[in-house]
Copies of this chain bind each other. A is one copy, B any other.
Amino acid sequence: MATMRDIAQRLGVSVGTVSKGLNGGTDISEELRRSILDTAVELGYTNRRSQKEEHRKLAVFIENMDYQNVEDFGYEIILGFKTAANRDHWAVDIIEADRDFQNREKYETWMLQKGYSAGFFLGFSLEDPWIEQFHETSMPTALLDNYILLNPHVAMVGTDSEEAMDLAIGHLRSLGHEKIAFLNGSAHSYISDQRMISYLSSMARHHLHIDPSIAVYGYYVAEAAGYHVPGFLQKGVTAILCGNDRIAEGVIRCCKASGYSVPEDISVVGFDDIPLAQRLDPPLTTIRQSRSELGRCGYYTLYSMISGVAVSRNLLRPSLVVRETTTIARPRIATGHPEEKDSVLSVNPDLYKSFAIQRTL
C-alpha cells in the first residue's frame, strides 16, 4: 500500500511535487511527471486511488469492433455498461485504443494519469500490444471474451460457451440432425477455442460422431463460408453451426448457390443474434448473446473487483432464438471424394490432439 510519501522518498522529491505529478499540477516538467506516475504504478499506488464520488471514472477501451450505430455489435454493450455504471454514479469514457496508441502509452500509467479506476476492454485480440501488460497489471480490468491466466486483477466477461453449444446442438439433435458441421471464427482466439472445445464435448454428450474435417476455423466474416461450405456439402452434413451471424449469412448464400435449400436441405444456426439475423432470408435461427447484459455484466464485474473480489470468469447465459433456418433433418449422402476435399478444410489438428474429449454418458 504505497503512499505519496513512498513515491517522494523513492524519487528524492517532496510530497508536494508528487502530488502535483499525480494531480495534474502545471509547474513541474513532463519528464518528472512521467517518473512520478511510473513510480506510482510500480509501487502499487493505483490500487489506493478511491476517488470521491463526483470524480469516479471508468474507461471502456474499444479496438476492432464497431459501436457507433445501433446495429453495431458494440453499441448495446457500451450502452449496457454505461447505464449500469451511471446508476452507481460512475462517469464512463469510451477510448478507441488502436495499436499505435497502445504502443505509445503504458496502460497503468495512462489510467492513473487520467484518473480512471478500472478498464473494460472490447474487441481486443491476443495480439494487441497491451495484452502483455495485463499479466502484470494491478488495475481492475475486465476483458470481453479474453482470459488472462493467474492475474487476480483481470477478469473475463463473456457468454457461457458450453451452454451455448449445448443449446444449438440439442436443438439440432431434437430435429434429427446427426452430421452437424461447425464453421468457427478465427483461430488464435481464446473464445474461438472455447467454442471449439464446447462443440466437441457437446457433440459427444449427444452421442454424435465427431468428424474433425467438418469442425474448422475460418474468419468472423461472411466470406469465410466460400472456403468451407462446398466441403461440408460433399461430406453429407445436414446442419451447419456458425461462429457468428455474418458467417451464417455467407453459409446460407453458399448453400443456395450450390443448389441446396435452407432449411429443407441444410439447417443453419448462427451465433450472436445481431439485428441482421432476423432480416436474412430465411430469418436466422441463432444463439443469442445479450449484448446489453454483457455490457452491464462488464460493469458489475469491475464493481466487484474494485471492491476487492478477484473474479476469474463471469459467464452469462446464452439463449436460443428459433427462426426459420432450422427444420427436421433430411438424410443426405456424402458425394465426391472426401480424401480429395480435405485439403479445402482448415482443420486445426492441435486442438483435436489437445482435447480428445469423448463423453459417453
Contacts and interface: CB of A to CB of B under 8 A. Distances in A.
A163 to B, nearest CB: 6
A164 to B, nearest CB: 10
Nearest to A295: B309
A53 interface: no
Interface string A299-314: 0100110011111111
Contact of A314 (B84, B314, B356): B314
Contacts of A319: 152
A310 B150 CA distance: 25
Contact of A312 (B300, B304, B315): B315
A85 to B, nearest CB: 12
B307 A317 contact: no
Interface stretch (A38-46, A108-116, A347-355): A347-355
A39 to B, nearest CB: 27
B309 A296 contact: yes
Contacts of A166: 149
A358 interface: yes
A290 interface: yes
Contacts of A257: none
A311 B315 contact: yes
A361 B350 contact: yes
Q: Which residue among A290, A311, A360 has the maximum number of chain B CB atoms within 10 Å of its CB?
A: A311
A173 to B, nearest CB: 15
Contacts of A307: 84, 296, 300
Interface in A312-337: 312-317, 319
A118 interface: no
Interface in A151-192: 152, 160, 163, 166-167
B350 A354 contact: no
Contacts of A310: 290, 293, 316-317
A230 B152 CA distance: 37
Contacts of A149: 163, 166
A52 B315 CA distance: 30
A297 B315 contact: no
A122 B353 CA distance: 39
Nearest to A318: B312
Interface string A98-133: 000000000000000000000000000000000000
A358 B356 contact: yes
Contacts of A354: 358-361
A315 B317 contact: no
A4 interface: no
Given A353-B360, A359-B354, A293 B308 contact: yes
B312 A317 contact: yes
Contacts of A309: 293, 296-297, 300, 316
20 contacts: A149-B166, A150-B317, A290-B310, A293-B308, A293-B310, A296-B307, A296-B308, A297-B309, A297-B311, A300-B303, A300-B309, A309-B316, A311-B315, A311-B316, A312-B317, A314-B314, A353-B358, A355-B358, A356-B356, A357-B357
Given A152-B317, A354-B360, 10 more contacts: A149-B163, A150-B317, A297-B304, A300-B300, A310-B317, A312-B317, A315-B315, A354-B361, A355-B358, A356-B358
